[in-house]
Amino acid sequence: MNIFVTGGAGFIGSHLVRALLERGDHVSVLDNLSTGRFANIEPFVGHPRFHFAIDDLRNALVLDRLAAESDAIVHLAAAVGVKLVVEQPTETIETNVLGTHAVLRVARRYRCRTLLASTSEVYGKGVSIPFQEDDDLLLGPSSRSRWSYAASKLLDEFLGLAAHREYGLPVAIARFFNTVGPGQSGRYGMVVPRFVRQALRGQALTVYSDGSQSRCFCHVADTVRALLALLDRPETTAGQVFNIGSTQETTITKLAQQVIKRTGGPGEIVYVPYGQAYAPGFEDMQRRVPDIAKISRAIDWQPTRDLNSILDDVIAYEQARLDAGAAQ
Ligand code: UDP
């Protein structure tokens, strides 16, 4: 198939591109390198089935040309990372909503089956754990900019589902929970690469708040397997929303302790109030656990990697980067 991946130079995107090329697909990537990195796609440059354009989703001509040649679109390009979202709310809302609008317009024009990336952020402050796709959603007030991310991705979901309902476009929505693995940047707040880098450099690990908040971390390789299967089964997935994530829950303090143990570092933890880490009045979720029964039923998917094996993968990757930097 010809697959068009927006945001293909990002963390999840570049892992997906590799998997698509390995199984024989033709892949086009559009990425403006705002949070994605050229280094992520550099290994594919020169591959006979790989094309890329460094451009913005809002360049209608490029978007149109790439969609015209494609059977399917995986729309991953988005403003992501809590830090970025809090610092640049206007850019976040515009990138997410206008970007998805533009993608769906060309998808309709060329009848491309479409997979839209969404996020567990849309569950907001919901407390009915685990989160199910049909749960009511509880977001915070518009005066707190964190919620602009959830609201913008929710609007993306509505746009995608409307395109399915009104125009019969095969659109599926993937709600990612915390996805981690080699190659993830810690610049935008993601906790696992941040902790691993801090530990490898002998720095204190910065646990925000009291560290009792919990998350479930899913290896990107498992996430990519889910995306491929969702893409391949439009007859069972179109018009539907799917959680993609691990159900192994860990508190952030435990995560920090685990990282310290597995890196063999001296291991200091400092607790940083949210207001200092992000912005005054920042609201975080205490727990976030997906119910994955729906995706398991639809495509027979389960995550296969536990937290220790994920951490070992990230530690090996970050150690290699550190060694390469030191050797230069
Ligand atoms: N966090 C932390 N220290 C950091 C970065 C993040 O304690 O250096 C916390 C953050 O407050 C949140 C959790 O780790 O409770 C996961 O954060 P991340 O940004 O990775 O993902 P989120 O689930 O917030 O989207």
Tell the residue nearest (CA) to atom 4 of ligand 1: 191
Average pLDDT over the chain reads: 94
Tokens of residue 72, six digits: 């399917």
Q: pLDDT tens digit string along 24-48?
A: 999 999 999 998 999 999 999 999 9
Res 317: pLDDT: 96
Tell the residue nearest (CA) to atom 3 of ligand 1: 207
Residues 236/295, Cβ–Cβ less than 8 Å: no
Can you tell me the mean pLDDT for 97-111? 97
Tell me the sheet residues that pair with 22: none
Query: What are residue 28's phi and psi, to 5 degrees?
Result: -115, 140
Ligand 1 pocket: which of 208, 220, 278 to mutate (most atoms within 8 A of CB): 208
Between the CA of 181 and the centroid of ligand 1 the distance, in Å, is 15
Helix axes 220-232, 11-22, angle to 10 degrees: 60
Residues 6+ positions from 117 with CB-CB distance below 8 Å: 7, 12, 74, 75, 76, 78, 174, 176
Is the pLDDT at 280 greater than 90, yes or no?
A: no
> Cα separations (Å) of 234 from 1, 8, 121, 167?
14, 21, 25, 15
Instruction: Give yes or no for residue 245 CB within 6 A of ligand 1.
Output: no
Residue 149 bears catalytic tag: yes
> Cα separations (Å) of 19 from 10, 16, 136, 201?
14, 5, 34, 32
Compute the half-sphere exposure of residue 177: CA atoms within 13 Å on the CB side of its CA.
29
Mean pLDDT is lowest, of 138-152, 166-180, 229-243, for 138-152
Res 85: pLDDT: 80
Res 83: pLDDT: 76
Q: How confident is the model at residue 275 (pLDDT cuts 50, 70, 90)?
A: confident
Can you tell me the mean pLDDT for 186-214? 93
Say which DSSP state 158 is in. H
Res 327: pLDDT: 56
Is the pLDDT at 81 greater than 90, yes or no?
A: no
Q: Which residue has the tokens 């491929």?
A: 228
Is the pLDDT at 286 greater than 90, yes or no?
A: yes
What domains appear along the chain, each with residue ranges and CATH number?
A: 2-180+218-246+288-304 (3.40.50.720)
Res 6: pLDDT: 98
Mean pLDDT: which of 13-27, 87-101, 272-286 is highest? 13-27
Q: How confident is the model at residue 236 (pLDDT cuts 50, 70, 90)?
A: very high
Choose the catalytic residue: 110, 123, 149, 271: 149
The single-letter code of the amino acid at 298 is A
Tokens of residue 33, six digits: 């390198």
Between the CA of 152 and the centroid of ligand 1 the distance, in Å, is 20
Q: How confident is the model at residue 326 (pLDDT cuts 50, 70, 90)?
A: low
Is the pLDDT at 250 greater than 90, yes or no?
A: yes
Instruction: Give yes or no for residue 34 CB within 6 A of ligand 1.
Output: no
Q: How confident is the model at residue 310 (pLDDT cuts 50, 70, 90)?
A: very high
Burial of residue 300, with CB atoms counted within 10 A of its CB: 0-12 exposed, 13-18 middle, 19 or more buried: exposed
Between the CA of 112 and the centroid of ligand 1 the distance, in Å, is 35
Instruction: Give yes or no for residue 55 CB within 6 A of ligand 1.
Output: no
Instruction: Give yes or no for residue 284 CB within 6 A of ligand 1.
Output: yes
Tell the residue nearest (CA) to atom 13 of ligand 1: 191
Between the CA of 200 and the centroid of ligand 1 the distance, in Å, is 18
Query: Residue 270 is inside which H or E element, if any?
Result: strand 269-272
In the chain, alpha helices (H): 11-22, 38-41, 60-68, 82-87, 89-110, 146-167, 191-200, 220-232, 234-237, 252-263, 274-277, 293-299, 307-327
Instruction: Give yes or no for residue 255 CB within 6 A of ligand 1.
Output: no
Can you tell me the mean pLDDT for 187-208? 93
Between the CA of 248 and the centroid of ligand 1 the distance, in Å, is 16
Cα separation, 265 vs 315, whole angstroms: 12
Is the pLDDT at 52 greater than 70, yes or no?
A: yes
Instruction: Give yes or no for residue 199 CB within 6 A of ligand 1.
Output: no
Is the pLDDT at 87 greater than 90, yes or no?
A: no
Q: pLDDT tens digit string along 151-196?
A: 999 999 999 999 999 999 999 999 999 999 999 987 877 999 999 9
Instruction: Report helix, strand or coil for 84.
Output: helix
Residues 219/176, Cβ–Cβ less than 8 Å: no
Tell the residue nearest (CA) to atom 25 of ligand 1: 82
Q: Which residue has the tokens 């981690």?
A: 180
Q: What percent of the chain has pLDDT over 90?
A: 85
Is the pLDDT at 82 greater than 80, yes or no?
A: no
